[in-house]
Amino acid sequence: MNADGTPSDWDPNGSPDERRLSSVLVHLGDRQADRISLDDILSALSERSFGALLILFSALNLVPLPPGTSTIFGIPLVLLSIQMLIGFENPWFPAFIRRKSMRIETYRAFIGRIQPILLRFEKLARPRYWLVPQIIVERVVSIVALAMSLIVILPFPLINQMPALSIVLLSIGLGEQDGLWLGTGLLVAALAAGIAIGLGASVGLAALHIFG
């Protein structure tokens, strides 16, 4: 185990497969400990924490989880998106949140569910069609991710997965400078926003009909 909490067999300068987010998260679960905290995850992800954490918390919304879990995982997405928009260099969480931990078995179960999803995206992403300066793309991604995060935390079933998917696509596109994934993420975000607006309008009309 390294001093920063990463497994000793993980080399950030190693092969592309070893440096993939999915590989880092799996290796982190191999540690000999009873529990794993958010601080442990942040340390392992090091300099790429923003994009990696956006992908991690979003991907958790793409697998079947107990009701209300999307709100729990959506709050960190809102915090991360706001910090990216403001221009923070590294993610910041209050100390009490960083100390929050889960049993290592629970962590491994979560990662086991999302690893196949991450692997599919990672294998297809590569630098291409990158026509806009990085700083502009980062601002656009942070704004769209914030909007999608606010939809994710809504306590309505079946509307959380599409905005979560858009954040995964946008974050991978940004990290790999892949314009194709970035454009796909923006398209999915537009669809997710349209569905959320339509749902909100339907709920509003129903409320007017009932109480009006």
Mean pLDDT, 10 residues at a time, over the chain (212 residues)? 37 50 89 89 78 89 76 87 91 87 90 88 89 91 95 81 94 92 96 88 79 70
Tokens 């290592």 identify what position?
104
SS3 6: coil
| Among the listed residues 90, 105, 110, 104, the one whose alpha carbon sits nearest the alpha carbon of residue 37 | 104
Rounded-to-5 percentages of helix, strand, coil across the chain: 70, 5, 25
Distance CA 17, CA 54 (A): 20
Please give the pLDDT value at position 19: 62
Question: What is the predicted pLDDT for the residue at 137?
Answer: 92
**Cα–Cα distance between 68 and 89 in angstroms, integer?**
30
Query: Can you give the pLDDT at residue 203?
Result: 75
Give me the sign of the Cα torsion angle 184, 71, 110, 100: positive
Distances, alpha carbon 14 to alpha carbons 9, 11, 17, 145, in Å: 10, 5, 8, 30
Q: Write down the pLDDT at residue 36.
A: 92
pLDDT at 164: 93
Query: Which pLDDT belongs to residue 142?
Result: 95
Contact 48, 41 (CB under 8 A): no
Torsions phi, psi of 12, nearest 5? -65, -15
